[in-house]
Amino acid sequence: MAVQMPFTGLLFVHRLVRISTSSQRHLSSRDILLKCERGTRTFSTASVKCNENKGDNSDSSAAATKLTFRRALLSRGRRPLSPLERLSSLLPQDALSPEVMQLREQIRQDPEEVPNTQVLGTQDESGHERIPKEVDSETRHASDAAQETTTSDAQLNEAFNEEKSLTSPTLPRESLLAFGELLVAEYRKKGRVEFRKMFELQTGTRLQSSWGVILHDDIAGLPAGCFLKTSRGVLLLIRRASLEDYVLYMKRGPAIAYPKDAGTMLMMMDVTEGDCVLESGSGSGAMSLFLSRAVGCKGSVLSVEVREDHHRRAVLNYKRWRTSWSLRRGEEWPDNVQFHNSDLCTASSLLAAQGFHAVALDLINPHLVLPTVIPHLHPGAVCAVYLANITQVIDLLEGLRCLALPLLCERIIEVPMRDWVVAPALQKDGSYCARKAPILDEDQREDETSVEADTEEMTKEKHPAFGSIPYIARPHPEQMSHTAFLVKLRKCVR
């Protein structure tokens, strides 16, 4: 026990000596680093001052300030990327205007003319740099980082506005994306749409998706049909929403008349510019918009809806589309639709002294309103009926038989739509497959090796010759199912 105690004490003293020695080395190293840093900063600022004093003897204070910025930037050892270069690198080459391309060439030829993003120290009234007082290292680094961030953000916004001003339409009647327009963002992967969203372009808003975020301010001022990178580096196609996109992605009350069915109904009714059309069952306003575009400025549409909530939704959707169209084209969408919240069975006063070139019905029981509607339909005109179930078609025909109305049922159809996948055949490594010619006789087997070699060389090419790549063609795995039955009724004179 007497032998173990001194040994334990010696071990403890040895550890204390090692700890104190390492801490002293750490403190001395830290002091040396701080002295080197202060010396380097003093040397760089002194060299800047010396260069400024030389510049004052020959040039003005503005030139000295510019030289100070350049020397300070060179002392950092690297040139930061210009905000204009950052923005233009995200855009495709065909979307850049000639002015932007010329500016990029000038930047490449004279890189020293790129504006600096950081200024060391402060300046007095004469333009010379003034070295700040000694402060704590952590506080100094935090203030420098904040100053650099503020300066870079300001220059980024300035360069972004400059980029937008330089981007101008190149085709007649072409317009850039503006706030308030309805746009569609979509992402395709291997020919399939993985993401699609309709949104209204607004200031200070973000487009959020599982593929990343894009600021609305970055979209405004760009041409339609451009690609933008999200925060996750995914390219999204930004384009204007068509009328078909709008009726599919707008807010709904009841089910809509799908574009494929609405287009067929317009052909059935033979609606042209200047016609007066009656619509019963406004719903969400999809058919009202298609009819409004078909009749034009000279025509009119009377849309009747029995439910008040559906009536409000149809009016809001109609107004929203008109607002987006005026911003897109610079002209007003024709205000030719009159919405009424009433029951068409008892609204004979609403139809008094009116005649219609066509009638579109989207009701659960359309045969109940036919006695009120048919007297106001022009002879030989068509009444198109939109029905979801085949049992409704049977009830309609039974109602026509019992009512003995002057109507002739010409067609009962269903409009199918089948999407197909047609794309070049690819191998697992991403290279193109090649067509393999059949061997006609045994004499040609000797040339089989050379044919395979040519095939391998052809598949390695980036753009193989025309007709050398096989294609796959099959129905798309995701198909649109049944939507509705369309019944074409024509008024005849007996």
Residue 100 sits at the vertex; the CA angle it makes with 96 and 105, to the nearest 5 degrees, is 115
Mean pLDDT for 162-174 is 64
Interaxial angle between packed helices 259-269 and 286-295, expressed in degrees from 0 to 180 and rounded to the nearest 10: 40
Residue 139 — pLDDT band, cuts 50, 70, 90?
A: very low
- For residue range 461-485, list pLDDT tens digits in order: 567 777 778 887 877 777 777 789 9
Residue 144 pLDDT > 80: no
CA–CA distance, 274 with 271 (Å, rounded to integer) = 9
Backbone angles phi, psi at 361, to 5 degrees: -115, 130
Residue 11 — pLDDT band, cuts 50, 70, 90?
A: low
Mean pLDDT for 295-300 is 96
pTM score, whole prediction: 0.62
**Element housing 194 (H / E):** strand 192-200
Cβ(48)–Cβ(116) below 8 Å: no
Domains and CATH numbers, the chain: 37-157 (no CATH), 182-241 (3.10.330.20), 257-417+484-491 (3.40.50.150), 420-475 (no CATH)
Q: What is the dihedral of CA 450, 455, 460, 464, to 10 degrees?
A: 130
- For residue range 298-350, list pLDDT tens digits in order: 999 999 999 999 999 999 999 999 999 999 998 999 999 999 999 998 888 89
CA–CA distance, 371 with 387 (Å, rounded to integer) = 18
More confident residue, 74 or 479: 479
CA–CA distance, 167 with 84 (Å, rounded to integer) = 12
pLDDT recorded at residue 152: 42
SS3 426: strand
- For residue range 423-463, list pLDDT tens digits in order: 888 888 888 888 877 776 665 555 555 545 444 444 455 67
- Paired tokens of 192: 């399939």
Residue 9 — pLDDT band, cuts 50, 70, 90?
A: low
Backbone angles phi, psi at 254, to 5 degrees: -85, 180
Q: What is the DSSP string of 335-360?
A: --EEEEES-GGG-TTTTTT--EEEEE
More confident residue, 82 or 67: 82
Residue 41 pLDDT > 80: no
Query: Which of the residue ranges 138-142, 378-382, 468-472 would you say has the lowest mean pLDDT?
Result: 138-142
